[in-house]
Structure 1
């Protein structure tokens, strides 16, 4: 480019320099003709040529953006073709994968007889790593798709609209609650009557038999109330402040006694602990030695399960109020 090059020459050169060599000559000719016509039109209206040329080039904008248009090269990481699919998939993965990874790490650390601090630290680190990797690799895949896969032939149509009845608030929650509560009640009864452990052919309950009848009856009452709440949400078609309040009360009614029994040592059957101490004395001794700094393996397990229980209760409360807020904003 010489010192006498005009603004048009400089603009055209800046535009075509990033294009494939085979297309540069055609784009140069087309762009020069287009600029010349636009400048001449302004000159015919009385503008000085220098002013007209500067105005036309300013309207064309950044030559890099113009070149991307000629090359059909996107200047965004993820465009509108794939953005919604990317966003929905990423949200789904962020809901599921970090939680599964956290549970897996917690179980692994307990089996390794790690301390409470080591367990919590490992969970936090893994969750952060999973979130970062999910965001990076999911975005990378869609960025590659944006630049390599042609525009889909099939377009969106009204036939893809979901049925309104399928979006009725509380339907999936009611079904899920019924299944969960029935399985939970069945597990409690099975543990008491048949036993998940049967050394010498006799049932060895995991839960303390002294919890019967009052504590277990109270638990069944709370579970029945949870089922009634799920039905009420379904019948109402949406969450509301009274329903969220009831959900909060029920969550606390489950969580507070459960944490009290767990921390006070009344939740687990003493005979089950005695069975571990006698039948697995060597393994238990190693576990206690590995977790001695935190008071022994039973204390570590108690704290981990207490944190998990508290997290479930807090999440249940937040989830109810969040759904109420969303229902009110709609």
Structure 2
């Protein structure tokens, strides 16, 4: 067999981009398809007909992606609209809030307009880049790891058309949750890096810095991050599913359980920050009940929406 024909060159370009266990089968299928199509067409110049057939089959990279069931785009058409809507929300709502707070803190601390402007520009660039980068990474991972049976990518039918008002309500609720979880992550991280409290000339964190030295704070942040990812998938699926509701309940536990534990142990807030609070026990007790009540409400509410098909 001649190995430098257009057919062989095309087959080679396709099969070298797919898993090894599929290559022989795909190569034989492509050769047979091209040969049968060429034979079925009338033409004096077989080479010209072969070229036309291969031209019609398209870019070998795209064909290989179809055989390997692998997306070519970083974020495909299923999730792209949700990605754009969420990115727009973050850039138009969360970013300005973070920048304004950062500039205000700088003005209070330094009383220098030039410094505040520089801080604002730096915060805008840094926070915008972080939002864009992390959101893109999350959506790219979802694009590649989405289960085949998930409603977000199942073949569409008219039965999946949601009620307009219900769909709008779901989208607003998911976006609000995303903004809230993102705000909590940003706030926890910011108080750790900026140390906004000044007592006796020393800068302090609001939360106990010891929590960053063990698993506690990282577990809390991981729970919040998982809740954000689940809300993104919910936006794409346009409704709660049993698997999403269970995953969200687990993520809620990952976030809430260590938080409740450190609140119970009186270790969540920086002891130096709380030194002047005279009702410390009551303060912690209220915080514990608040976290428990909110966590239980969120779990129950998700399954309630699932039972109603929302």
TM-score by length of 2: 0.49
Based on CA coordinates, which of the two structures has the bigger radius of gyration?
1
TM-score by length of 1: 0.46
